[in-house]
């Protein structure tokens, strides 16, 4: 479905740090994502998890190596918080998010009441996003992300924030979504979620894959690294 072959990603840092200003994020990463599986990616902060999802979504191109996607298959990166415009209302942000994901203005408008109801934001849906708490942002982020319909869902931490009750509701909605043919790549810090949701997991450290296989065995490697 999706294949990363010897992928490296580095960029020039403006400050002359790291390797003479060159910052290596991923180093010769090879990974295959199979149709219908739910793959969990775990690793400490800053090891390249989000970058890997961005490569899979086609947002970034590898410095070397290749990212191959099955022809005709679509993928989308779902992430929270980042990307919301703080001076716009929740409604406007949801509308914009839907249109950016390819919906027409009419389709986007038809999603809005559903988003308002699921996110349980009530009147705050009409307020500017800069007045939102982290939990409210998480609700809006997850709910706008949930309506995307693509072959490969790339999920970046969308289930990691918010209060316990909403997190459980979100996790339940996500599990309903991923049962069936949906292929999912899922980044999380929460071991329980990786264990419950994923059929396979990989652990990344220092830009390379250090473990790949059954979630329980991979989680053990992750715990040893922490």
- Contact flag: residue 29 with another protein (CB under 8 A): no
The one among 36, 83, 192, 213 contacting another protein by CB under 8 A: 83
Q: Please report, as residue ranges, which positions from 128 to 157 form the binding site for another protein (by CB under 8 A).
A: 128
Token digits of residue 215: 């979630």
The one among 68, 85, 149, 172 contacting another protein by CB under 8 A: 85
Ranges of H-type helices in the chain:
49-56, 90-100, 105-119, 134-146, 164-178, 191-197, 215-225
Q: How far apart are CA 204 and CA 212, in angstroms?
A: 9
Comparing C-alpha atoms, which of 47, 58, 30, 51 is closest to residue 152? 58
The length of the chain, given as a count of residues: 226
The one among 8, 23, 190, 225 contacting another protein by CB under 8 A: 23
Comparing C-alpha atoms, which of 73, 89, 82, 69 is closest to residue 5? 69
- Contact flag: residue 94 with another protein (CB under 8 A): no
Nearest residue (CB) to another protein, 8 versus 210: 8
- Contact flag: residue 21 with another protein (CB under 8 A): no
CB 82 → another protein: shortest distance, Å? 4
Nearest residue (CB) to another protein, 33 versus 56: 56
The piece of 80-88, 113-121, 159-167, 177-185 that touches another protein (CB under 8 A) is: 80-88
Under 8 Å CB-to-CB from 55, ≥6 apart: which residues? 4, 7, 9, 26, 61, 62, 67
CB 169 → another protein: shortest distance, Å? 23
CB 79 → another protein: shortest distance, Å? 5
- Contact flag: residue 13 with another protein (CB under 8 A): yes
Q: How far apart are CA 221 and CA 164, in angstroms?
A: 27
Q: How far apart are CA 136 and CA 73, in angstroms?
A: 32
Check: CB of residue 70 under 8 Å from CB of residue 46. Answer: no
The one among 99, 112, 150, 190 contacting another protein by CB under 8 A: 99
- Contact flag: residue 190 with another protein (CB under 8 A): no
Binding site for another protein (CB under 8 A): 11-13, 23, 54, 57-61, 76-77, 79, 82-85, 87-88, 92, 95-96, 99-102, 104-105, 128
């Amino acid at each position: 479905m999706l294949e990363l072959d010897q992928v490296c990603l580095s960029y020039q840092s403006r400050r002359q740090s790291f390797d003479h200003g060159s910052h290596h994020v991923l180093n010769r990463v090879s990974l295959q994502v199979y149709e219908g599986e739910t793959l969990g990616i775990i690793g400490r902060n800053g090891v390249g998890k989000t970058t890997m999802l961005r490569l899979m979504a086609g947002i970034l191109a590898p410095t070397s190596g290749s990212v191959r996607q099955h022809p005709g298959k679509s993928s989308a990166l779902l992430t929270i918080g980042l990307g919301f415009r703080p001076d716009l209302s929740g409604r406007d942000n949801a509308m914009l998010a839907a249109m950016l994901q390819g919906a027409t203005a009419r389709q986007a408008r038809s999603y809005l009441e559903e988003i308002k109801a699921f996110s349980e934001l009530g009147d705050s849906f009409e307020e500017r996003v800069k007045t939102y708490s982290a939990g409210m942002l998480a609700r809006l982020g997850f709910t706008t992300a949930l309506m995307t319909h693509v072959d490969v869902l790339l999920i970046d931490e969308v289930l990691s924030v918010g209060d316990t009750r909403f997190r459980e509701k979100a996790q339940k909605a996500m599990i309903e979504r991923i049962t069936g043919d949906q292929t999912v790549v899922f980044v999380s810090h929460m071991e329980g979620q990786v264990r419950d949701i994923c059929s396979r997991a990989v652990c990344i450290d220092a830009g390379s894959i250090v473990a790949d296989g059954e979630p329980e065995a991979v989680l053990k490697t992750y715990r040893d690294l922490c």
